[in-house]
């Protein structure tokens, strides 16, 4: 490592659960009156107009709460003889599996995954212009972000070039 290198690392350990006396979804109109924290929704694949299913989510893991998540990023800058700068880098993110809604069923489970992003940038000697090329989600992994009312997924593999000019 030198002054031309930049390394970033972050991690989190989480244990997030709904309290037994949670407010909010517990007060859903028409929810069961039994003690607990009730959440209601139309079950996946249910017929339109089907009755709402209620689940007691007291003690359930909160949505989008992986036990462990971490990221690391590395960037290396290469000063060129002309005074221009080239930098190359990437970042890597890992998450353990988690539920994307409070009802802990197979539809709402997002398995553990890795995401990788890469980037390269070039800046002219005067800084008047620059170019940045990138690839996000290199493996093209579809991260589940929601399942109700329909399954939605995160950003697919995306790549591009951005050119900037300063006047």
On average, the pLDDT of the chain sits at 86
Contact 134, 117 (CB under 8 A): yes
Contact 152, 115 (CB under 8 A): no
Q: Which tens digits make up the pLDDT trace of 93-107?
A: 999 999 998 778 888
42: confidence class by pLDDT, cuts 50, 70, 90: low
Q: 36-50, 55-69, 75-89, 146-160: lowest mean pLDDT where? A: 36-50
Contact 39, 24 (CB under 8 A): no
Contact 102, 60 (CB under 8 A): yes
Q: Which tens digits make up the pLDDT trace of 50-88?
A: 566 677 777 788 889 999 999 999 999 999 999 999 999
d(CA 25, CA 150): 19
**Where do the structural domains in the chain lie, given as residue ranges?**
5-16+61-165, 17-60
Question: For residue 151, which phi and psi values (nearest 5 degrees)?
Answer: -70, 130
Q: 37-46, 58-67, 98-107, 129-138: lowest mean pLDDT where? A: 37-46
What number of other Cβ atoms are within 10 A of residue 42's Cβ?
Answer: 15
Q: Which tens digits make up the pLDDT trace of 7-23?
A: 999 999 999 887 765 55
pLDDT, residue 74, reads 98
Phi/psi region, residue 59 (left: phi>0; alpha: psi -120 to 50; beta: rest), is: left
d(CA 124, CA 130): 6
pLDDT, residue 7, reads 96
Q: Please give the distance of CA 80 from its chain centroid, rounded to a whole number.
A: 36
25 pLDDT exceeds 50? no
């Amino acid at each position: 490592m030198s002054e031309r290198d930049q390394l970033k690392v972050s991690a989190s350990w989480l244990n997030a659960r709904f309290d037994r006396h949670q407010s909010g979804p517990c007060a859903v109109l028409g929810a069961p009156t039994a003690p607990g924290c009730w959440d209601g929704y139309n079950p996946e694949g249910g017929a339109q107009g089907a009755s709402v299913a209620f689940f007691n989510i007291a003690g359930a893991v909160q949505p989008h709460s992986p036990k462990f998540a971490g990221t690391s990023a590395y960037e290396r800058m290469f000063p060129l003889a002309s005074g221009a700068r080239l930098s190359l880098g990437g970042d890597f993110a890992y998450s353990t599996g988690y539920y994307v809604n409070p009802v802990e069923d197979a539809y709402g489970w997002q398995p553990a995954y890795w995401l990788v992003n890469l980037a390269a940038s070039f800046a002219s000697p005067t800084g008047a212009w620059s170019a940045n090329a990138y690839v996000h989600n290199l493996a093209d992994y579809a991260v589940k972000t929601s399942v109700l009312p329909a399954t939605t997924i995160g950003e697919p593999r995306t790549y591009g070039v951005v050119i900037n000019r300063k006047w």
